[in-house]
Amino acid sequence: MAGQPYIYSGQGFSLLRDKNRFVLPNVLRSTVRDSSGKDMLCIAKHAEWKCLVGFGLSRVDEFEAQLDSEQARADAAGAAFNRDLRAMQLYNFQQVPFDGSGRFTMPEALASLAGLEDQLFFQGIGRSGVLIWNPDELYRRSDDPGFEAAIATCRSLQAAELAKASKK
């Protein structure tokens, strides 16, 4: 697993389903599976935004190098850097198994930190992983530059999923 960069790309949407489960979108599932070496999604609170970030187990192998890089940047800028706090943020994730169809149960503690309810929007963000948003939280960022495409995609996928669910 180590040494190979995994790129999380794509978007998806999931409504809460039976047995209190969501579905990890297929477009992201294979990357998570390959990165973890098994059907395991690591989920943590995003350091800045009110959302979660998901990734495969191989990402954990990169944390120490990331801490070293962030420390070096802070030192070069003459800025304070609390390595222990940042390490706590990085390593404070939960391993969440998913089945072959991508179904998983969101840990309650993480759901509450991100304001998650019965709908999830997934946004791949490259090597860092997958952002997991409550759509309403994402929509609150409509005035923030750079969120326009994610918001438009979320609205489109949400409408399609809700329409599909109403036909059942």
Q: How do the pLDDT tens digits run along the chain, 168 residues long?
A: 445 689 999 999 999 999 999 999 999 999 999 999 999 999 999 999 999 999 999 999 999 999 999 999 999 999 999 999 999 999 999 999 999 999 999 999 999 999 999 999 999 999 999 999 999 999 999 999 999 999 999 999 999 999 999 987
d(CA 71, CA 106): 32
Alpha carbon of 145 to those of 69, 79, 139: distances in Å?
Answer: 26, 26, 12
Query: Considering the domain boundaries, does residue 5 fall inside one?
Result: no
Q: Which of 157, 166, 150 is nearest to 12 (CA)?
A: 157
Q: Which of 52, 33, 159 is nearest to 113 (CA)?
A: 52
Query: Considering the domain boundaries, does residue 6 fall inside one?
Result: no
Q: How long is the chain?
A: 168
Distance of CA 27 to the CA centre of its chain: 14
Query: Considering the domain boundaries, does residue 3 fall inside one?
Result: no
Query: Considering the domain boundaries, does residue 52 fall inside one?
Result: yes
Q: Which domain does 75 fall in, by range?
A: 11-166
CATH number at residue 37: 3.40.1550.20
Domains of the chain: total: 1
Query: Considering the domain boundaries, does residue 33 fall inside one?
Result: yes
Query: Considering the domain boundaries, does residue 2 fall inside one?
Result: no
